[in-house]
Amino acid sequence: MRGLSGKRVILTGGASGIGRASALRLAEEGCIVGIFDLNEAGARDTAAGCGGRGHAYAVDITDRDQVERAVAAFERELGPAEGLANIAGWDVPVNFLDTDQALWDRIIQINLYGPMNMHHVVLRGMAERSAGRVVNVASDAGRVGSSGEAVYAACKGGIIAFTKTLARELARKGITLNAVCPGPTDTPLFDGFKAASPAGAKIGDAMARAIPLRRIGVPEDYPGLIAFLLSDDASYMTGQTISVSGGLTMA
Ligand SMILES: NC(=O)c1ccc[n+]([C@@H]2O[C@H](COP(=O)([O-])OP(=O)(O)OC[C@H]3O[C@@H](n4cnc5c(N)ncnc54)[C@H](O)[C@@H]3O)[C@@H](O)[C@H]2O)c1
């Protein structure tokens, strides 16, 4: 893909699952990748697989100060961020009427405040330099809903609307933002979802059966699209929401 060689990209959630597969692919495409994750050992492990192009940072994206420090360290050590991929996320399946506000807060902090912190810090520099590409990993839960995931779906729907709004605000600054919506995918997050309760296991199995391509996703189903959206080949695309879910949703 064009324009990825040497591009500096900050990626959250790179210690595991979709984030890890995406970091490895971006490094393969020649990007210099800053892997931001709570899980420092996992981030280091991913960085080690990036052939000298990966750099691990221990960051809790819900903590604004930590985000500012890590972005500053990345830019001091490697140069200005040219791409941002927000991939970190978290959920646990509980029917909404059985949830409490402590759980809402945790889900909203990780899936909404975390990406907002990342945008607020990284996009200031991009706006000054009038260039930048952002990819936000949302979820099909945010497009069509997902039983047991009401608050998470609200956050992911919020991320889709947030992406479109910033795409409008920042287009004249040469910054593009697009959202990718995975369907059910075989990662530690989905394993946790299924293991959390009998209801989680039932919902997980039902989702897999409903997929036209007859399998759930794997982390490697996403990095090609994420790399494309960070590349110059996608320079005329912004504000778009793309599902990668085996045909589960066809919007
Ligand atoms: N797996 C699925 O079925 C599925 C479906 C739709 C959308 N998604 C989305 O895809 C993205 C990646 O999910 P995954 O399945 O690869 O999950 P995963 O659990 O394998 O990886 C998530 C990563 O995010 C990191 N993380 C969590 N909270 C963090 C925080 N506060 N600060 C920094 N890092 C944090 C974790 O340490 C982990 O490394 C998420 O945004 C998720 O919501 C996943």
238 assigned to some structural domain: yes
Put simply, whether the predicted model's pTM sits higher than 0.95 gets the answer yes
Q: Whose CA is nearest to atom 2 of ligand 1?
A: 185
For the beta sheet containing 54-58, the strands, ordered from the edge strand earlier in sequence to the opposite edge, are 54-58, 32-37, 8-12, 83-86, 132-137, 175-182, 241-244
Task: Give residue 64's pLDDT.
Answer: 98
**In this structure, is residue 25 part of a structural domain?**
yes
153 lies in some domain: yes
Q: Assess if residue 1 is contained within a domain.
A: no
Give the CATH number, domain containing residue 67.
3.40.50.720
The reported pLDDT for the residue numbered 136 is: 99
- Looking at the structure of the chain, the number of domains it has is 1
* CA 56/CA 44 separation, integer angstroms: 5
Beta bridge partners of 10: 34, 84
Is residue 37 situated within a structural domain?
yes
> Is the Cβ atom of 180 under 6 angstroms away from ligand 1?
no
User: Does the beta carbon of 90 sit less than 6 angstroms from any atom of ligand 1?
Assistant: yes
Pair 122, 83: CB distance under 8 Å: no
46 lines ligand 1 (CB under 6 A): no
Told to judge if 236 belongs to the known catalytic residues of this protein, a careful annotator would answer: no
- Cα of 172 vs centre of ligand 1, distance in Å, is 31
- pLDDT at 246 (0 to 100): 97
Range of the domain at 149: 8-242
Looking at the domain assignment, is residue 44 inside a domain? yes
The sign of the CA dihedral 152, 244, 188, 20 is negative
Answer whether 62 contacts ligand 1 (Cβ < 6 A): yes
251 part of a folded domain: no
pLDDT in tens, 58-105: 999 999 999 999 999 999 999 999 999 999 999 999 999 999 999 999
What pLDDT does residue 245 have? 96
User: Mean pLDDT in runs of 10 for the chain (251 residues)?
Assistant: 97 98 98 98 98 98 98 98 98 96 98 98 98 98 95 98 98 98 92 79 81 95 98 98 96 79
Note whether residue 219 is domain-resident.
yes
Helix (H) or strand (E) segment spanning residue 244: strand 241-244
**Spacing, Cα 13 to ligand 1 middle (Å):** 6
